[in-house]
């Protein structure tokens, strides 16, 4: 299936878009390439134009690239995030999703959301560890995450 490029996008100077276009320009039959192709074709540029993992997996399934959600998140999405191409929001349901960032502000917003979730989960787990030595070990991690969160503009 030939790649279809979106005619225009709202963030022509985004380094994330540049990296996505570089990967997209190298035709590959990988989940990563097909994911970027899906995002570009569907104009998933910016925080407000996210695609759900469910939609992307459905697209991959039509290409006989059948992956479990976990395998997709740990494989293709992880690779694309590590290569600075996409960001994912980890909210459940329609609030979550995958997108190609337009600017640093969007990446910072996603980082805040991620850290808020991590801090909340660690605090919850700290309660579960009440009375155990583990409970005391979690507080410095929570504090470090809060300090990082507070440094993001």
Domain boundary among 102, 122, 140: 102
* CA-based end-to-end distance of the chain: 42
Would 1 be classed as within a structural domain? no
User: Does residue 23 share a domain with residue 97?
Assistant: yes
pLDDT of residue 81: 96
Q: What is the pLDDT of residues 108-125, one digit of tens each?
A: 999 999 999 999 999 999
User: Does residue 116 share a domain with residue 42?
Assistant: no
2 pLDDT more than 60: no
Would 26 be classed as within a structural domain? yes
Would 4 be classed as within a structural domain? no
6 pLDDT more than 50: no
**pLDDT above 70 coverage of the chain, percent:** 92
Mean pLDDT of 22-42: 93
- Spell out the residues 6+ positions from residue 46 whose beta carbon is closer than 8 angstroms to its own: 10, 11, 99, 100, 101, 102, 106
Residue 115 domain boundaries: 106-151
User: Does residue 119 share a domain with residue 84?
Assistant: no
Q: What is the pLDDT of residues 47-59, one digit of tens each?
A: 899 999 999 999 9
Question: What's the domain count of the chain?
Answer: 2
Give the CA count within 13 Å in the CB-facing half-sphere of 110.
Answer: 22
User: Phi first, then psi: what are they for 52, rounded to 5°?
Assistant: -75, 150
- CATH code: domain of residue 87: 1.10.10.10
Domain boundary among 80, 102, 124: 102
User: Does residue 91 share a domain with residue 53?
Assistant: yes
User: Under DSSP, is residue 109 helix (H, G, I), strand (E, B) or coil?
Assistant: helix
pLDDT of residue 92: 65
pLDDT of residue 54: 93
Would 49 be classed as within a structural domain? yes
7 pLDDT more than 70: no
Mean pLDDT of 37-62: 94
User: Does residue 146 share a domain with residue 83?
Assistant: no
The answer to whether 108 and 152 have CB atoms below 8 angstroms apart is yes
Q: What is the pLDDT of residues 88-105, one digit of tens each?
A: 987 766 778 999 999 999
8 pLDDT more than 90: no
């Amino acid at each position: 299936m030939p790649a279809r490029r979106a005619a225009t996008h709202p963030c022509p100077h985004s380094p994330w878009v540049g990296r996505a276009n570089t990967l997209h320009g190298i035709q590959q039959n990988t989940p990563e390439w097909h994911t970027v192709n899906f995002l570009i074709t569907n104009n998933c540029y910016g925080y407000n134009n996210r695609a759900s993992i469910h939609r992307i997996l459905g697209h991959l399934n039509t290409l006989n690239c059948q992956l479990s959600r976990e395998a997709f998140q740990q494989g293709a999405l992880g690779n694309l995030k590590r290569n600075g191409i996409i960001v994912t929001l980890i909210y459940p349901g329609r609030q979550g999703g995958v997108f190609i960032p337009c600017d640093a502000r969007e990446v910072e917003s996603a980082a805040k959301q991620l850290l808020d979730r991590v801090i909340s989960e660690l605090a919850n787990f700290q309660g579960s560890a009440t009375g155990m030595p583990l409970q005391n070990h979690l507080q410095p991690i929570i504090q470090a995450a809060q300090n990082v969160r507070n440094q993001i503009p």
